[in-house]
Structure 1
Amino acid sequence: MTITGPCNAPDGVDVVALGESMVTFLPSRPGRLADVPSFERAIGGAESNVACGLAAAGHTVRWVSRVGADGFGDHLIEAIGAYGVDVSAVRRDPARPTGVYFRTAGDRATDAHEVAYYRAGSAASAMSVANMDLAAARSGRVLHLSGITAALSDGCRELMRELTAPGEGRPLVSFDVNHRSGLWRDAGGPRVLLELARGADVVFVGEDEAEEAWGITGGPDAVRAALPEPRVLVVKQGGAGATAFVSAAGSSWPVAQFPALPESAQSRRPATAPGTAEPTAYVPAPRVQVVAATGAGDAFAAGFLSATLRGLPPRDRLRHGHLWAAATLTAPGDLAAPPTRDTADRLAALDDAGWEKLRLGPGWTQAIERADEEVPTP
C-alpha cells in the first residue's frame, strides 16, 4: 500500500493518532505494588505511543484527545509535544481528571505483573462526536485508532464508528484491535471490535487476542478468513513473528504488490486464505532480551506505519515493526526511542540468515548508532 491520499485540513500531517493517554507510574524497584515505596512518572497510551514513535522518526504527527485541566494533563501535553507531536487539537476538560495508572515491572520468567488503572470518568472517556475536532482527526494521510478507545464509553464508541465510516476524503484508517477484556462493561466488546476492524484499511491484531476476542483458532489464515475487508491485515504471532495479508478490495487506496518471498522463506509462508489468491508476507521476530513488554505492540504498529509511509516493500515493513518493537522491549517504560532510520534500514536489508542471527539486548540501538559494531547480545 502506497499512501498518497489527500488531507482534509490545510495543516495536514502524515499521521493523526486519536485516543487516551495517561500518566504512568513505574516502580522504583521490583516487587508487588503494595511493597514498592516510590514510582517514576512517565506517559502511556496506545495511540500517543504510536504518535511519539513516529514523530521521533521524523514524521509529522498530530495527537487528538482530551485531558483534564490539571497538572497531569499539563504533563501529558508537554511530554508528548516534546517528541515533536502536534498537540494543538487536544482539548482540556475542567470537570474530569486525566487518567493515571501504576504498574510493576514484569517478571522475566513468567511475565507476571500488576497494573492498577485509575481512568474511570477520565476526560478522555468523555470524547464524543459532538465535542471532538473531527476536521483535526481527519487531517492526516493516516488516522491511527485503537480498540481501547471504543471500550471507554458509549460516546467514544460512536466517535470510533464515525471515524471508521466510509466517506469522501476519509484518510486511510489504521486500527489496532488492542482487545482489553477488563475495560468492556458488557459482553458486546468483541462484536464492536470486529465491526471497527472491518471498517479499517490497515488492521493490527495479535493471534492470541483474535482467539480470546473472537474464538478464532487456526493461525493467521483463519484470522484473515474472518477479516477479509481490510486492505492490509497484520497478524502478530508473539515471539514467533508476524504475517501480513494484502487485498485489492475494500478501499480506494493504491496497493503495491507483494514481491515473491525468497525460497528460504517459502516453508514459513502461511497458505493463502480459503477462496483468495492474495499474497502474504511472513517475517520471524528477532530474538530479544525483554526488559518490559508494555508498549511493544504500539511500537510495532508505528514501525510498520513508518515503513508504509515511506513506500517500503511489505517484508521491510514487517521488519521495521519488529525492530521498533525490539527497541521498546529492551527498555523499561512504555516508550523508547526507535532505531534511527539508517540503522533500521540497514538491519531490515539483511538477508534471511543475517536476520535470523540478530540478538537484541538493552542498549542495542545506541550501540549500533555509536559505531558500526556487532549488535549486543543478551
Structure 2
Amino acid sequence: MRTETGERSVDVVTIGESMVLFQPMSEGPLPYAPLFTRSVAGAESNVAIGLSRLGRKVRWISRLGTDPFGDMVLSALAGEGVDVSYAERDSQYPTAIFFKEFKGYGDPNVFYYRKASAASRFSPNHIKPEWFRGARHLHVTGITPALGPDTADAVKEAMVQARKQGLTVSFDPNLRRKLWSEEEARRTLLSLIPLCDVFLPGLEEAEFLLGPATEEQYGQTFREMGPGIVVLKLGERGAVGFAESGAVRVAARPVTRLVDTVGAGDAFAAGFLSVYLEGNSDREEVFERALQTANVMGSLTTQFKGDWEGLPRRDELLRAMSGGKDVTR
C-alpha cells in the first residue's frame, strides 16, 4: 500500500525459503551430538531480519507447511518486526529443516532436508502483484531457483513483476552446489542477472559464472548484462563495487573472534541495501558508505553462532562503525 502522500510504505520485499535449523550444543560430529539448539534460518529471511533491525520495513514471502516448524518460522520473523502476512501455508508439503555440524576447524558443514518442502513447490502461478504494492525494492537469491521444478520460473516472474511496478531489484547468487548441478546452476543464475539492478556475487561465484578473470573484468562484464551496480565480495580483502561513476574498493573489517561464517553474505547484503535505499547510490561517497556498512555487518555476524542472531541493531551498527565500545555496566 501507499501512504496518503503517495510514498511507498514498504522498503523491501524478499522471497525465499526459511527453515528450522538444528545445531549441536557442543562441537563435534553430528552422530555424537546428544543435544541440539533450534533456530530459524534462510538467506532471504536473514536479510529481512538484518534490514528490520536497521529500521527498514520488510515484507517476507514464502511457503510453509501447516506444521509446528512453520509456526516457529512465522513467530521468529514476526518477533523481529518482519511482515509475514503474505506467507502461505501448505497442508501437503512440510516446512524444511537443516543441520549444522561444527568440528572446530573450517566452515561448518551443512546438511539440508528441504526436498519436496512447501517452498519447493513455488511456481509462477503463486506470484501475486499485491506482494509488491507499496514497496520500493525486491531482494532475491539464487537459492530459491534451485529448490524445485518451477521455482526458477517463479523467481524470474517475481523479478519481472516487481520491475513492472517500479521496484528496484537486487540479486545475490548465493550459490548452493548441493542443491543442483553446476550446469543448471550456471545457466539459471546467468539468466537472472539481466533482471536485477544490484548484483551481489562473491569472488568465487563470479569465477563460477564467468570463468577466470580480473575483478575489474567481472565488474564490467556483469554490468554489461544489465545491473547498474555490481558488488564483488572479497572476503578477507573487503569488497569492490562497480557503478556508472566507477569502481570503489573498501577494506574488510578485522574479525576478532571467528565463530560461524554462515550468514555473513546475507548480513553484507542487508548492510549494503540499508544504505542503497537512501538513494544517491551513484555518488561515490554514498557507494563507499554502503560498502563499508556491508563489510561491518558481515564481520559482526561471523562472531556469533547462528545465521542472524548476531546481526546488529542500528545504534549498535553505528557504534561499531565509529569504533565506539558498548557500556555493559
Contact 2:136/2:168 (8 A) holds in 1: yes
Task: Provide the rounded CA distance (Å) in 2 between the counterparts of 1:11 and 1:246.
Answer: 25
Question: Is 1:146 paired with 2:113?
Answer: no
User: What residue number does 1:190 align with?
Assistant: 186
Give the 3 Å change call, closer, same or farther, for CA 11–86 of structure 1 in structure 2.
Answer: farther
Shift in CA distance, 342/77, structure 1 to aligned 2, threshold 3 Å: closer
Shift of 1:146: 0.2
Structure-1 residue corresponding to 2:261: 293
Match of 1:314 in 2: 287
| Matched residue type, 1:40 | T
Find the counterpart in structure 2 of residue 57 from structure 1.
Answer: 54
Q: Is the 8 A contact 1:343 1:368 kept in 2?
A: no
Q: 2:243 & 2:27 partners in 1: Cα distance?
A: 43
Match of 1:162 in 2: 157
TM-score, normalization by structure 2? 0.89
* 2:251 paired residue number: 284
Q: 1:79-228 maps to which residues of 2 (within 5 A)? A: 79-105=76-102, 107-108=104-105, 111-137=106-132, 139-165=134-160, 167-185=163-181, 187-218=183-214, 220-228=215-223
Q: How does 1:218-257 map to 2 (within 5 A)?
A: 218=214, 220-228=215-223, 229-247=226-244
Does the 8 A contact of 2:8 with 2:136 survive in 1?
no
Deviations 1:2-55 (A, max 9, x none): xxx99xx99840011100000001111000111111210011100000001111
Q: 2:141–2:174: 8 Å Cα contact kept in structure 1?
A: yes
Secondary structure at the counterpart of residue 311 of structure 2: coil
Contact 1:14 1:60 in 2 (8 A): yes
State whether structure 2 residue 326 is matched by structure 1 residue 369: yes
* TM-score for the superposition, normalised by structure 1: 0.78
* Structure 1 moving runs of 4+ over 6 Å: none
Structural mapping, 1:11-50, within 5 Å? 12-50=9-47
| Residue identity (%) | 37
Structure 1 range deviating more: 194-203 or 330-339: 330-339
Structure 2 distance, partners of 1:142, 1:32, is: 41
One-letter amino acid matched to 1:339: P
Secondary structure of the residue that 2:31 maps to in structure 1? coil
Aligned length: 317
Question: Structure 2: which amino acid aligns with 1:61?
Answer: V
Residue 100 of structure 1 contacts residue 117 of structure 1 at CA under 8 Å; is this kept in 2?
Answer: yes
- Look at both structures and tell me which one has the larger radius of gyration over its CA atoms: 1
CA contact (8 A) 2:55 2:314 kept: no
Listed one character per residue, the Cα deviations across residues 251-276 of structure 1 (whole Å, up to 9, x for unaligned) are: xxxxxxxxxxxxxxxxxxxxxxxxxx
Higher helix fraction (1 or 2): 2
The whole-number CA distance in structure 1 between the counterparts of 2:312 and 2:174 is 24
Are the equivalent residues in 2 in contact too, given 1:204–1:234 (CA < 8 A)?
Answer: yes
For 2:220 and 2:21, locate their aligned partners in 1 and report how far apart those are by CA, in whole Å.
37
Offset of residue 212 of structure 1: 2.6
1:32/1:114 contact within 8 Å kept: no
Deviation at 1:138, TM superposition (A): 5.4
